[in-house]
């Protein structure tokens, strides 16, 4: 399953490997590879939306590098 933008959606509980519960904000941040000291603001629902809509850091870096190489060639 993918990260959802709301912990209230039915399939949100599919994300945790051992417990029947939504992933926490801290777990969402770790999966998306945000730095450990990264802070998200807003209501809890806004935080889930921001992280759920984000592109994982490593994926963004790989895509950016590929685009740069394409533009340079």
Tell me the pLDDT tens digit for each residue of 21-58. Answer: 778 889 889 988 999 999 999 999 999 899 988 988 89
Q: Count Cα atoms within 13 angstroms, Cβ side, for 55.
A: 7
Domains, the chain, in order of start with CATH, read 10-72 (3.90.120.10)
User: Residues in the chain, how many?
Assistant: 73
Q: Tabulate helix, strand, coil % of the chain (nearest 5).
A: 50, 0, 50
Lowest-confidence region among 4-8, 17-21, 37-41, 61-65: 4-8
Locate 68 and state its tokens. Answer: 């740069």
- Measure Cα distances from 49 to 3, 10, 52, 55, 73 in Å: 10, 16, 5, 12, 37
């Amino acid at each position: 399953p993918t990260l959802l933008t709301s912990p209230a959606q039915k399939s949100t509980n599919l994300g945790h490997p051992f417990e029947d519960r939504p992933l926490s904000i801290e777990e969402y941040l770790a999966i998306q590879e945000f730095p450990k000291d990264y802070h998200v603001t807003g209501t809890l629902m806004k935080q889930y939306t921001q992280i759920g809509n984000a592109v994982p850091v490593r994926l963004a870096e790989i895509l950016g590098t590929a685009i740069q190489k394409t533009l340079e060639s």
